[in-house]
């Protein structure tokens, strides 16, 4: 039935045994169990394609349903819902502005609800569902936050529709200017401004949002791990703490050629850009290995895209990341040299520097979530997140990763076990309780 749901493997009939003083990861509070599963089941059918993968793209009808769901969750928990100048949704427990005035701004958690094309169920939604469930558990335990707690649903984290990842956080931090954002186009030529209008939003309000940023004293994003550091040869733990996000970027390669008949044009007379592209794909793999980085041509558009036509243009997008900025940049430098030789052009569409998370917060999270055998594991990641954008903007930021047994992500096969998801909820509850006390 629900192939992508966390597999129930514990006794769900157990009664809640909330204990507000319980901080230890090992002693789970089971009040969150039915709440987590209920929310998961509500989200599960939204934007799910027949393939089993998710197609949840920014400012579409599916996105509107997800936003409505989030607003309903906020209302049910008695949280105050606001939207910022990029359309990100914030649900506040307590008054964020009173806390700013008092010089002690709030604690924010949350993630995103959008997906890559045919993405998995966990990337994004796990952080949002866990945040809402942790808050519900804290409320049920009678916890009174000393600082307001917010849950955010960031818009367009994956950049699947308009090509810029983390667009929602980039816009409010000013990393993506309002002019550039408004003019971004999807594959049908629809601009972000037009998409906002048809979603009932006001595109002229797009822009850096200091009022929203001031409210975030600390941001902690929970996310499914997109790798196997917690499941492989390393430390076996359901939840880990992020150290840094690898530097990463996206580049567009335009290989121009000459359209012609696939049957009548002699091989010698052809100018076929697909050959140059093929060479670039092979070289990307080779140079990435040489620089201990990763590089991927995962998206390509061909013109005229006919079986019996030699292409006039191959436009391909490279995603490159590395443990250091030099490693990632070197990959692109080598591929640009190839592009120059074949007359192709290379355009940088986005670049994000190495994002180390706040080290004090990181250590505090690891200590809080550790057990008798020491602090929780600390790991780096090659995936970008809104948390990285906020960290770059100077917000004290941390991330929690929930174990992913296969490491598969951005695929319908992405998975986390229910027990690990619930450990994530418990970890978040512990963290929120500590930071907001
Ligand atoms: Zn994500």
pLDDT digits (tens, 9 = 90+) for 380-420: 888 889 999 999 999 999 999 999 999 999 999 999 999 99
The pLDDT assigned to 382 comes to 84
The pLDDT assigned to 148 comes to 98
Q: Is the pTM of this model over 0.85?
A: no
Expressed in angstroms and rounded, the spacing between residue 221 Cα and the centre of ligand 1 is 10
Expressed in angstroms and rounded, the spacing between residue 437 Cα and the centre of ligand 1 is 28
What is the signed CA dihedral for 357, 120, 55, 323, rounded to 10 degrees? 40
The pLDDT assigned to 308 comes to 97
Expressed in angstroms and rounded, the spacing between residue 130 Cα and the centre of ligand 1 is 14
Mean pLDDT, to the nearest integer, of 88-96? 98
The pLDDT assigned to 14 comes to 33
Confidence of residue 13 (pLDDT cuts 50, 70, 90): very low
The pLDDT assigned to 381 comes to 86
- What is the residue-averaged pLDDT of the chain? 91
Mean pLDDT, to the nearest integer, of 354-377? 94
42 and 49 Cβ atoms separated by less than 8 Å: no
Expressed in angstroms and rounded, the spacing between residue 143 Cα and the centre of ligand 1 is 29
Q: What is the pLDDT of residues 154-198, one digit of tens each?
A: 999 999 999 999 999 999 999 999 999 999 999 999 999 999 999
Mean pLDDT, to the nearest integer, of 18-36? 47
Gap between the Cα atoms of 212 and 90, Å rounded: 9
What is the signed CA dihedral for 132, 136, 141, 143, rounded to 10 degrees? 60
Considering the chain, what percentage of its residues have pLDDT values greater than 70? 92
Expressed in angstroms and rounded, the spacing between residue 152 Cα and the centre of ligand 1 is 13
Expressed in angstroms and rounded, the spacing between residue 112 Cα and the centre of ligand 1 is 6
Higher-pLDDT residue of 32, 314: 314
Counting every residue, how long is the chain? 437
Expressed in angstroms and rounded, the spacing between residue 386 Cα and the centre of ligand 1 is 8
Q: Does residue 353 have a pLDDT over 50?
A: yes
Gap between the Cα atoms of 393 and 357, Å rounded: 11
Burial zone of 407 (CB within 10 Å; 0-12 exposed, 13-18 middle, 19+ buried): middle
Q: Does residue 12 have a pLDDT over 80?
A: no
Mean pLDDT, to the nearest integer, of 257-284? 97
Gap between the Cα atoms of 341 and 163, Å rounded: 27
Expressed in angstroms and rounded, the spacing between residue 338 Cα and the centre of ligand 1 is 32
Considering the chain, what percentage of its residues have pLDDT values greater than 90? 86
156 and 167 Cβ atoms separated by less than 8 Å: yes
Q: Give the three-class secondary structure for 124.
A: coil
Expressed in angstroms and rounded, the spacing between residue 185 Cα and the centre of ligand 1 is 22
Expressed in angstroms and rounded, the spacing between residue 334 Cα and the centre of ligand 1 is 29
Expressed in angstroms and rounded, the spacing between residue 202 Cα and the centre of ligand 1 is 26
Mean pLDDT, to the nearest integer, of 56-74? 98
Expressed in angstroms and rounded, the spacing between residue 92 Cα and the centre of ligand 1 is 21
Expressed in angstroms and rounded, the spacing between residue 158 Cα and the centre of ligand 1 is 7
Expressed in angstroms and rounded, the spacing between residue 277 Cα and the centre of ligand 1 is 29
The pLDDT assigned to 384 comes to 86
Expressed in angstroms and rounded, the spacing between residue 213 Cα and the centre of ligand 1 is 20
């Amino acid at each position: 039935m629900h192939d992508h749901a966390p597999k129930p493997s514990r006794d769900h009939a157990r009664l809640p045994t909330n204990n507000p003083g319980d901080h230890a990861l090992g002693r789970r509070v089971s009040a969150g169990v039915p709440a987590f599963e209920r929310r998961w089941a509500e989200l599960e059918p939204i934007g799910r394609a027949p393939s089993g993968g998710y197609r949840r793209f920014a400012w579409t009808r599916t996105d509107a349903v997800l936003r409505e769901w989030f607003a309903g969750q906020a209302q049910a928990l008695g949280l105050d819902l606001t939207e910022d100048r990029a359309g990100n949704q914030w649900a506040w427990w307590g008054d964020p502005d009173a806390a700013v005035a008092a010089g002690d701004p709030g604690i924010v958690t949350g993630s995103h609800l959008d997906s890559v094309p045919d993405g998995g169920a966990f990337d994004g939604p796990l952080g949002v569902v866990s945040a809402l469930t942790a808050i519900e558990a804290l409320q049920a335990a009678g916890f009174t936050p000393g600082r307001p707690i917010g849950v955010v649903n960031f818009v367009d984290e994956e950049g699947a529709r308009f090509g810029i990842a983390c667009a929602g956080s980039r816009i409010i931090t000013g990393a993506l200017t309002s002019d550039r954002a408004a003019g971004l186009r999807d594959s049908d030529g629809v601009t972000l401004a037009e998409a906002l209008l048809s979603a009932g939003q006001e595109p002229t309000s797009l822009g850096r949002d200091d009022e929203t940023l001031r409210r975030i004293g600390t941001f902690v994003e929970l996310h499914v791990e997109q790798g196997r550091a917690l499941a492989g040869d390393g430390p076996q733990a359901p939840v880990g703490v992020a150290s840094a996000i690898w530097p990463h970027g996206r580049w567009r390669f335009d290989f121009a050629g000459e359209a012609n008949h696939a049957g009548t044009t002699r091989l010698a007379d052809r100018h076929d850009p697909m050959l140059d592209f093929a060479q670039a794909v092979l070289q990307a793999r080779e140079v990435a290995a040489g620089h201990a980085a990763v590089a991927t041509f995962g998206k390509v558009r061909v013109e005229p895209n006919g079986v019996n036509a030699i292409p006039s243009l191959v436009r391909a997008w490279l995603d490159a990341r590395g443990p250091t900025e030099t490693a990632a940049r070197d990959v692109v430098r080598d591929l640009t040299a190839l592009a120059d030789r074949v007359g192709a052009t290379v355009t940088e569409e986005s670049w994000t520097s190495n994002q180390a998370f706040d080290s004090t917060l990181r250590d505090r999270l690891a200590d809080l979530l550790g057990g008798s055998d020491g602090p929780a594991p600390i790991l780096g990641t090659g995936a970008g997140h809104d948390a990285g954008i906020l960290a770059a903007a100077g917000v004290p930021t941390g991330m929690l990763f929930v174990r992913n047994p296969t490491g598969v992500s951005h695929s319908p096969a992405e998975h986390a076990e229910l027990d690990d998801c619930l450990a994530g909820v418990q970890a978040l509850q512990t963290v929120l309780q500590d930071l907001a006390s």
